[in-house]
Amino acid sequence: MKLEGKDTKIFELMRRELDREEYSLILIASENYADEDVLAAQGCVLTNKYAEGYPTKRYYSGCTHLDEIESIAIERAKELFGAEHANVQPHSGSSANMAVYYAVLDRGDTVLGMDIAHGGHLTHGAKPSFSGKWYRAVSYAVSEKDEMLDYDEILAVARKERPKLIIAGASAYSKFIDFKKFREIADEVGAYFMADIAHIAGLVAAGLHPSPFGHAHFVTTTTHKTLRGPRGGIVFCNQEFAKKIDSAVFPGIQGGPLMHVIAAKAVALHQAMTEEFKQYQKQIIANAKYMAKCMADLGFRIVSGGTDNHLFLVDLTPKNVTGNEAQVSLEASGIMVNKNLIPFDTRSPGITSGIRLGTPAVTTRGMKEKEMEIICVMIDAVLKNLNDRSFMENTRAKVREFCKGFPFYSRMYDI
């Protein structure tokens, strides 16, 4: 790393973070390891250049190469997902969602999204977000019976609330989402339909989750989760809405695009077209399914009864442990998870009754079912020894050794 011996403070912290990522088990479902090619594109001179506007229609001179880079990113995004139009400029998934709101809603309009307490995202209408502050946000939940989406119930809410925009997509929902049904509901009440595939984009690209393309008016995604690219967002739509979306992103809600990130998105989208990426996505799901089974065998309750995708929620109630206690003890043991509300949780978001586990990052390292079982046994043991410092320290050392068997950044950097 080039900062060595210069900005020693930042260098040392970067080195420590590299060490943490390499020698921890990252089970946070929204995280992944971008590879050296993505990192190279993201850490290059493209960061220097202003390129407000779009390819061939920029406000500044000197954009020839950037025009080509952005055009390639757009073409790759369209090809990968089978979309008519792609805007690759959103700085994040939240910005991508905001652009759709900005393009088709007026302040005060009604939006219908998944309740954040049941797996939805902040930008789907939660109170602290712009989406809950500037719009009349109403929500649907999972069914109490099986903790899955109940499309008749969603239709009933839509009929009652008459939203202008319906959002499907989640941060913590482990079953397939039926985008076709969502579109039918939207059509019935005269709403736009936006599918937010931030979490499942890699699975959709690989054909392993039903695609929203052909059903949704707008599809938004992040590029850094299962898609394994740089931190960022993309909005897709048909030609009909292309102009509206482009002017919502710029100049509506953003200024100059992050061209280094757009180059890194292009690199990641190219990787996502390979057979290797498809196999990777298959293994993510196989690992998640097997991990959910192992956790259930160890006496944990799996929300919704299992998983179809890359993540699942574990209800810790049978173990008498809170999500927060689990997160803290597991972190001290080198296992990164996040506390998560489970549907109909009686605890607060800061405490929670559950944790969310995801397999994208450990699968990137080459771990398979056998390793998932070992990880589950380690999690169970830590939760049985919650406040035992030396147990956590021993586990931390074990995790470090375990990670050495699946090197990722240590193949590229001297750590």
Binding residues for ligand PLP, rule: CB under 6 A, are: 30, 92-94, 97, 121, 123, 169-171, 196, 198-199, 222, 233
Two structure tokens written together for 188: 């019935």
- Which stretches does DSSP call E strand in 170-319? 192-196, 218-222, 233-237, 301-302, 311-315
Non-local CB neighbours of 191 within 8 Å, separated by 6+ positions: 112, 158, 162, 163, 164, 165, 166, 185
Catalytic residue among 19, 21, 35, 52: 52
Active site residue 225: yes
φ, ψ for residue 114, nearest 5 deg: -75, 135
Catalytic residue among 110, 220, 222, 226: 222
Instruction: Give the residue nearest to ligand PLP (CB).
Output: 93
Least distance from C-beta 96 to ligand PLP, angstroms?
7
Q: How many CA atoms lie within 13 A of 108 on its CB side?
A: 0
Active site residue 50: yes
* Between 123 and 287, CB nearer to ligand PLP: 123
Active site residue 384: no
Look at residues 240, 244, 243, 213 and name the one whose alpha carbon lies nearest to residue 104: 244
Catalytic residue among 115, 196, 325, 345: 196
Two structure tokens written together for 68: 């080509």
* Between 199 and 217, CB nearer to ligand PLP: 199
Distance of CA 303 to the CA centre of its chain: 19
* Between 129 and 395, CB nearer to ligand PLP: 129
Q: 89, exposed or middle or buried, with CB in 10 Å at 0-12, 13-18, 19+?
A: buried
Active site residue 196: yes
DSSP category for residue 149: B
Least distance from C-beta 194 to ligand PLP, angstroms?
11
* Between 307 and 333, CB nearer to ligand PLP: 307
Look at residues 298, 334, 330, 331 and name the one whose alpha carbon lies nearest to residue 315: 298
Least distance from C-beta 171 to ligand PLP, angstroms?
3
SS (H, E, C) 322-338: CHHHHHHHHHHCCEECE
Least distance from C-beta 61 to ligand PLP, angstroms?
31
Q: How far apart are CA 179 and CA 177, in angstroms?
A: 6
Q: How far apart are CA 398 and CA 402, in angstroms?
A: 6
Q: How far apart are CA 305 and CA 284, in angstroms?
A: 18
Least distance from C-beta 263 to ligand PLP, angstroms?
18
Task: Compute the C-alpha angle 199/122/25, nearest 5°.
Answer: 45
Least distance from C-beta 217 to ligand PLP, angstroms?
17
Two structure tokens written together for 191: 């709403």
Look at residues 305, 306, 314 and name the one whose alpha carbon lies nearest to residue 290: 306
* Between 196 and 246, CB nearer to ligand PLP: 196
Active site residue 151: no
Catalytic residue among 225, 265, 319, 339: 225
Q: Check if the beta carbon of residue 31 is closer than 8 Å to that of residue 225.
A: yes
Least distance from C-beta 124 to ligand PLP, angstroms?
7
* Between 233 and 360, CB nearer to ligand PLP: 233
Q: How far apart are CA 389 and CA 223, in angstroms?
A: 37
* Between 169 and 257, CB nearer to ligand PLP: 169
Least distance from C-beta 63 to ligand PLP, angstroms?
25
Residue identified by tokens 């995604």 is 221
- Which stretches does DSSP call E strand in 141-266? 165-168, 192-196, 218-222, 233-237
* Between 72 and 234, CB nearer to ligand PLP: 234
Catalytic residue among 19, 50, 78, 347: 50
Catalytic machinery residues: 50, 52, 196, 222, 225, 231
